[in-house]
Copies of this chain bind each other. A is one copy, B any other.
Amino acid sequence: MSEGVEWAIHTAVLLAALPAGRSLPAARLAEFHELPPAYLAKQLQALATAGIVATTAGRRGGYRLARPAADVTVLDIVRGIEGSSPAFRCTEIRRQGPGAAGASHYRHPCGIARVMGDAEAAWREALAATTVHDLLVEVVNTVSPVSIRRTTEFLEEAMR
């Protein structure tokens, strides 16, 4: 999994902390976690394509969440960055070689593909159970007051 996933989730949580209707330029989002601006810009474009963030033009323009933070799950972000192809791809090798039978003999799905698919479904389910709003609430409740103050100061200055 690319480090872009970590960056994109943290960035979404920061966007969730903005006042309604406000945006932040990509350069400011990169600055907040000291991320390479060009690479983060690519992640933001992927999130925009996935309908997770949207851009606003103008002097106070930039990126914002495209929908309420409670409607954006961690799975949405991971798929926005990594795509939604399964990690395990079954190529049906059971149908080739000296043990194979004709196509009509394979009425049951391959048990190996099923086990691998069920495991990925459990992973997706876990990621879909947490929203960006949940993460923001957790950050606010667990992070040091020093970080909260510094973040607030950064956002006030960046949105000026």
Interface of chain A, main secondary structure: helix
CB distance from A89 to the nearest CB of B (A): 7
How far is B116's CA from A118's CA once the two chains are assembled, in angstroms?
17
The answer to whether A88 and B1 have CB atoms under 8 Å apart is yes
CB distance from A104 to the nearest CB of B (A): 9
The answer to whether B142 and A98 have CB atoms under 8 Å apart is no
How far is B13's CA from A151's CA once the two chains are assembled, in angstroms?
54
For A104, give the chain B residue with the smallest CB separation: B144
Copies in the complex: 2
For A99, give the chain B residue with the smallest CB separation: B151
The answer to whether B97 and A115 have CB atoms under 8 Å apart is no
A39 at the interface (CB under 8 A from B): no
Assess A31 versus B97: contact at CB under 8 Å? Given A6-B88, A89-B3: yes
For A139, give the chain B residue with the smallest CB separation: B111
Top 4 nearest A-B pairs (CB, nearest first) are A105-B144, A119-B126, A99-B151, A108-B142
